[in-house]
Structure 1
Amino acid sequence: MKLRYIIFTLIGVGLVALIGYRIIDNKDKTQGNQAGPPPAIKVVGQVLQPVAFEDNLSLSGSLEANEQIELRSEVSGIIENINFTEGSKVSKGQILFRVNDQEMRAQLAKVQTSQTLASENERRARLLLEKEAISQEEYDMAQADFQSSKAESQLIQAQLGKATVRAPFSGVIGLRYVSQGTYVTPASPIATLVNTDKLKITFSIPEKYASQVRINDKITFTTSNSREEHEATIYATEPGVDLSTRTLKMRAIADNKDGKLIPGTFANVFLPLSVVEDALMVPTESLIPIQNGKKIFISENGKAKEVIVETGARTESSIRVISGLKAGDTILTSGIMVLRNGTPLNIDLRQPLAKTQL
C-alpha cells in the first residue's frame, strides 16, 4: 500500500513539474517575440523619375453624315416614276421620282382659262373707266378677280412643281420603301439620302477641359470596326455646358472621300491637350482607392510610408500624379495591401520608367 502511495506521489510531482516547465518556456518565448523587431515585408518598388507625357483625353463619340434627309413627297398621289437605284450615287438637282399630276394639270388648265377671261374683263373695265363709263369700284372688282385668278394659277403651278422630287444635294441614296404605283402622302417615307463625302464626329468633354479646346483644333479617332486612325477638325461647340452631365458637346468634321467611314459608327476620340515634359507617372496597381481620393506607399528609411496623392490623366498602365510625390521617391508597386505606416521593408527594386514619351 505504501509503495502504491509513493508511486502516485512521484507521478503527481512529475506532472506538476512538467506543467510548470511548459508555462515558463511559453512565457520566455512570448517575451522574446515581443522584444524582437517585426519581420520585413517583401515588396516590389521603383524609383520615381519624370517622363515626357502627352496629356490626351480619350472620349467616346459617334459618326454622323454631313447631310442626311428622309425623302418624302410634298403632295399626295400615286408614284408614276422612280428614277433612282437603291444604293447608288445621285447628283444635286437629279429627278428622283414623280407623283401623278394629271388632276392638278386639269385644274391648272381650268384656272388658266378663268385667268384669261378675268384678264380680258380687267382690260375692258380699264378702257371704260378711262371713258368714265363705269365707276372706280366696278373697275377695282374686275381687277381683283383677275389678280385672284392669277394667284390661283400660281398656286397650282407650285403644287405641280412639288410632284417632281429632285435631290437637294449630291450623295448616296439608301433603300426605298415604296414601289411604282404606290399611293403616298407627305407622311410616307420614300428613301434616305446621305452625303458621306465628309462625316461629322460628335463628342462631349468634361467641363474642366472646356477652356483648353478651341475651334480648328485637330483630333484623331478610330472606329469600332477598324484600328486605322483618322483626323478631324473641330468646327463647332455648344454655347453652354450640359447641366445634367457637366460636359460640353463638340463637333468635328473629317474627310471621307474613300468611303471607309460609315455614319452611325461608334468612335474612340483622342483629343490632345498638352505635352508635359516632367510628368510623374506611377503604375495603376500602386494606387489604393480611399474614401477621399487615392493613396500610395513609398519607402522612407527602409519603412513603409502612406502618402495621399492627387491624380490626373491616365494611360493603359499608368496614371499621372499631380501632387503628393516628387522625383526620386521610391514607390511600392506590389505586396502593398498588407502594409501599414512604419512596416519594415525588403524591397526588390525594378527598373524605373524611362524618360520617354508615353
Structure 2
Amino acid sequence: MNTKIVFLCLLVTVIALSSCEHETHKKHEIGTLEVTNPMIKDTLYYKNYVSQIHAYQHIELRALEKGYLQKILVDEGQYVQKGQLLFQIQPTIYQAEMQKAQAEVGRAAIEFQNTKVLADSNIVSKNELALANANLQRARADSALMQAHLNFTEVRAPFSGIIGQFEDVRLGSLLDEGELLTTLSDNSKMWVYFNVPEATYLDYMKQVKSSTPTSLKLKLANNELFEHEGMVTAIESDFNNATGTIPFRATFQNPDRLLRHGQTGNILWPVELSEVVIIPQKAAFEILDKKYVFLVSQDGHVSSQEIKVGAELNHLYVVKDGLSLDDQILIEGLRKVQNGDHIEYEKKAAAKVFAELELHAE
C-alpha cells in the first residue's frame, strides 16, 4: 500500500515538472511579445459607396432630315465647340424646295400688291385683299419651314463637349429622319450617383441644417483619389423599398476632363468620431465572423476577448464594446499563442504604437 502511494506521488511530481518544463520551453520558443493598451481618440473615417459617373450633359445626336451623309467633319473622341458643324446631309433637294418656296413668296407678294391697289380703288372687295394677304403669309410660312429643313441638313453641336462613338454611320450612308449618329458629352463637370442608407440620409439632413455641407472624395477604378472634391447637389424623392436606400447626386468639377461619362468609382463619405476607443487591426483575429483580441494579464496569462467593431479605419479598428483602456492587448505573435497560455511580454506605449501605424499608413 505504501509502495503505491509513493509511486503515485512520484508520478504526480514527474508530470508537474514535465508541465513546467514544457511551459518554460514554450515561453523560450515564443520569446518576449509586445502588448499595448487601447487608446481614446477623435478620428475620421470614410463610408464607401459604389457610384456611377455621368456627364453634366450627355445627349444623342440624331439626323433631323432624311438623305445621304455628305460630310463627316469630326472624329470620335474629339472635343468640339458649341455651334461647330459636325455632319452634313446632302442638301440638294432641300435647297430646291427652298428656292421653290421663295419663288412662291415672291408671287404671293406681287398678287397682294396688285390686289391692294385694286382694293384701294374699290375695284375689289376687302375680302379679296384679306385672301391675298393670307396667301402671302402662308407662302412666307412655307418658306420658313423649307429654310428649317435646309438648316437641319447641318448637324451642329448644341454645346461644347466630346463626340462619342459613331453609330454605324459612314460617309455616303442613307440616313432616315431620327437616325442616331453619335453622342455628345459635356464633362466640364460631372454628376456622380450613389445610393445611401436611410440612417445616413437622416444624419445628413440633420447636419445640413446645422453646419456646412459635407465635402466628398471620389476614388477611381485605379484606387487613386480624384484631385477635386465634390458636394451633394441633389437627393431623389423616393426610397427604394427593396434596398432601403435613396439615390444621392454629387457634383464634381472636372476641368482637366479626366472623368468620362459611364465611368464607375466609389464615393468616400467622411464621418467624424469623437472620443472613440481604437486598437491596431493587427491586434485582432477573426473566428466565425466574430473578432477577438488576446488580453494579457499582469502575470502574463493570455485570454481571448470578443470585441464589437464599430468602424474600420486605415490599420485601425474602432471598438464599440469589449475593451477598456486598462486592458493589455497582444499586438504581435497572435499565431504563436492560444487561450490560457502564459507568456513573457513587453509593454509598449499606446501613443508610440499608433504613431508608428500612422507613419506606416503614409
Same fold (TM over 0.5): yes
Aligned residue among 249, 252, 258 for 1:251: 249
Counterpart in the other structure of 1:163: 153
Quote how far apart the aligned CAs of 1:93 are.
1.0
C-alpha separation in 1, matches of 2:135 and 2:312: 78
Q: Distance in 1 between matches of 2:149 and 2:8?
A: 108
TM-score between both structures, scaled by the size of structure 1: 0.71
Q: Deviations over 1:191-236 (max 9, x none)?
A: 3333343344333333322223758532233323363652222142
CA deviations on 1:168-193 (whole Å, 9 max, x unpaired) are 12223345453332211244333333
Shift of 1:312: 1.8
The counterpart of 1:327, out of the listed 325, 328, 344, is 325
SS of the aligned residue for 1:227 comes to: coil
TM-score, length basis structure 2: 0.70
**Equivalent residue number for residue 64 of structure 1:** 54
Residues in 2 aligned to 1:262 and 1:326: alpha-carbon distance in whole angstroms: 49
Structure 1 residues 117, 229: CA separation in 2 closer, same or farther (over 3 Å shift)?
Answer: closer
Unaligned runs of 5+ in 1: 1-16
Number of residues paired by the alignment? 332
Q: What residue in structure 2 maps to residue 13 of structure 1?
A: none
Is the 1:82–1:97 contact (alpha carbons within 8 Å) kept by the matching residues of 2?
yes
Tell me the CA shift for residue 104 of structure 1: 1.9
RMSD, aligned α-carbons: 4.4
Instruction: Look up the SS of the partner of 1:230 in the other structure.
Output: coil
The structure where strand makes up a greater share of residues is 1
The amino acid across from 2:325 in the alignment is A
For residue 165 of structure 1, give the secondary structure of its aligned residue in structure 2. strand
Match of 2:181 in 1: 190
Which stretch of the first structure deviates more once superposed, 102-111 or 172-181? Answer: 172-181
SS in 2 for 1:158: helix
Match of 1:102 in 2: 92
Counterparts of 1:347 and 1:144 in 2: how far apart (Å)? 107
CA drift at 1:266: 3.4
Which protein is richer in helix relative to its size? 2
How far off its partner does 1:155 sit?
1.9
| Structure 1 counterpart of 2:148, one-letter code | A
1:220 matched residue in structure 2: 217
Paired amino acid for 1:252: A
User: What letter matches 1:157 in structure 2?
Assistant: Q
CA 175–277 in structure 1, closer or farther in 2 if over 3 Å, else same: same
Cα distance in structure 2, aligned partners of 1:95 and 1:319 = 58
Q: Is the CA contact (8 Å cut-off) linking 1:221 and 1:267 kept in structure 2? A: yes
Cα–Cα, structure 1 residues 228 and 274, in superposed 2: closer, same or farther, change >3 Å?
closer
Task: Check 1:262–1:141 CA distance in 2 against 1; reply closer, same or farther (3 A cut).
Answer: closer
Name whichever of 100-109 and 45-54 sits farther off: 45-54
Q: Distance in 2 between matches of 1:179 and 1:294?
A: 61
Whose radius of gyration is greater, 1 or 2? 1
Residues 122 and 235 of structure 1: is their aligned pair in 2 closer, same or farther, counting only changes over 3 Å?
A: farther
Shift of 1:77: 0.8
Give the % identical residues.
22
Cα displacement (A) at 1:78: 0.9
Letter aligned with residue 311 of structure 2: A
* Residue type of the alignment partner of 1:236: T
2 CA distance for matches of 1:330 and 1:65?
A: 53
Quick one: which amino acid aligns to residue 252 of structure 2?
Answer: A
Distance 2:297 2:275 in 1: 26
Q: Distance in 1 between matches of 2:298 and 2:282?
A: 24
Distance 2:316 2:48 in 1: 14
1:83 equivalent in structure 2: 73
- Cα gap change, 1:110/1:27 in structure 2, threshold over 3 Å: closer, same or farther? farther
Q: Which amino acid aligns with 1:97?
A: F
Give the match for residue 279 of structure 2.
281
